[in-house]
Structure 1
Amino acid sequence: MFDVSFLELAVIAVIALIVLGPERLPTAARAAGLWIGRIRRTIGNVQREISSQLETEELQRQMKHKRDRVDQGLSKMRQDVEGLGDTPRNRSDSERPPADDETPGAGSAGREPAADDTAAPADNSRHTTSSDADRNDAPR
């Protein structure tokens, strides 16, 4: 901080001894030491606060820079995706992948049942009616 040589300290001590006298010099030196300690602590606190503030500002600047880069990347991707939707389809139908309901070879198994398909399945056993019973009883 201050560049004080030994000779300057000796001159200050002699002047203090003459002005204050030998009775009050130790008390004054102790008070001066306490004041110097408080001043150093205050300066240290201010330096820490300033460096903390500078670090915070630097982190905010870095975050803003990275946020801008991410926003640019997202906007570029959004433009690319929107550009894909605007281009005409150049593929023929044979190159186009089949839709879910157009799966080849799936037939009705590949589709979901319609509302009328949910009825009870037909019974494959033979139902006899009166005319069927007559046919069965008739001689052949």
Structure 2
Amino acid sequence: MFDIGFWELLLIGVMALLVLGPERLPGALRSTLKTVRSVRNVASGFKEEVEHQLRVHELHENLKKAEQQGLKDLSPELQSSVDELKKSAESVQEPYKKP
């Protein structure tokens, strides 16, 4: 991510110690690490959401191709997408089925 070497980290640590002092330095480090973790979590969630939306778009495009072919003689990739969509549709409708 960042190309920071040992000497740069040492310089940052010494400057932080001089500016903040030994009393406030641990608290500043904890708050900085907490902020970095929260930014990573947000970035990870965003990445997962984008991947999910791309997968949905891919399934939608494959369904369009399958419908254009009349759902007959489909390639294995299209057939697996159609099967996955059918399973998803059944799982959504299952709670609403009457016994």
TM-score band (shorter)?
Answer: 0.5 to 0.7
1:21 is aligned to: 21
Q: Structure with the greater relative contact order (CA < 8 A, sep ≥ 6): 1 or 2?
A: 2
Q: Within 5 A, what are the aligned runs for 1:2-41?
A: 2-41=2-41
SS in 2 for 1:4: coil
Query: 1:45 corresponds to which residue?
Result: 45
TM-score normalized with structure 2 length: 0.68
Which residue number corresponds to residue 63 of structure 2?
63
CA shift for structure 1 position 70: 0.8
**How do 1:85-96 residues align onto structure 2 when only pairs under 5 Å count?**
none
User: Which amino acid counterpart does residue 19 of structure 2 have in structure 1?
Assistant: V
Deviation at 1:3, TM superposition (A): 2.1
Aligned equivalents of 2:48, 2:12: Cα separation in 1: 32
* Deviations 1:79-135 (CA, angstroms, capped at 9, x unpaired): xxxxxxxxxxxxxxxxxxxxxxxxxxxxxxxxxxxxxxxxxxxxxxxxxxxxxxxxx
Long gaps (5+) in structure 1: 74-140
Q: Which structure carries more helix by proportion?
A: 2
Q: Structure 2 stretches of 5 or more lacking a match?
A: 74-99
- For 2:48 and 2:71, the matched residues in 1 are separated by 34
- How many percent of aligned residue pairs carry the same amino acid? 37
Amino acid at match of 1:47: K
Local SS of the residue matching 1:3: coil
Q: Give the TM-score normalised by the residue count of structure 1.
A: 0.49
Q: Pick the structure with greater CA Rg.
A: 1
RMSD (CA atoms): 1.7
Q: 1:53-74: CA deviations, max 9, x gaps? A: 111111111111111111799x
